[in-house]
Amino acid sequence: MGNFEQYGIIAQKGRKHENIIYVMAMIYGMLEREIAEYFQKHKFTAPKFNVLMIAAFLNEGKGMNQIEIVQRLITTAGNVTKIVESLYKDKLVTRVQNKNNRRENIIKATAKGRDFIEKLWPEYNNLLKKRTDLISAGNQEKMTEILEKWFFDLKDLYKGEVI
């Protein structure tokens, strides 16, 4: 196992919680940079791709309002507004006023948006798989179970708020 002291993570009795959080943050940072580079090659961003994926596939492809989209991402409502505007200008999503709530727009992927996802998905998925394949299959199962339980425990603690 590597030495984390060079990153300011010093294993001390009773402070495993710091190691968990800091190591996860470092892993997130490394993966985020690599993913950003992948999308940059396609003149796109990971947040835009995530919004497009939500608009295309969640809620059975019927679209979602921006508040529901924000609740599924690690970003702000203001950022989602900018992303949706950009995706709309590029004709990758539509914005349709909700018939039940006129202050709300439903964001839905267009055929062009779904085609764009299909173009980027194989290589993106392969990138994610290659990075998670660094974890043995057995440990992937354990890790998935642990992280999912932790996520839902935290979600309960925050009364259903994800961000």
- Whether this model's pTM surpasses 0.95: no
Distance (Å, whole) CA 132 – CA 31: 10
User: What are the pLDDT tens digits along the chain (163 aa)?
Assistant: 567 777 777 777 667 888 889 889 999 999 999 999 999 999 999 999 999 999 999 988 888 999 889 888 888 889 999 999 999 999 999 999 888 887 888 999 999 999 999 999 999 999 999 999 999 999 999 999 999 999 999 989 988 776 6
C-alpha–C-alpha distance, residues 139 and 142, integer Å: 5
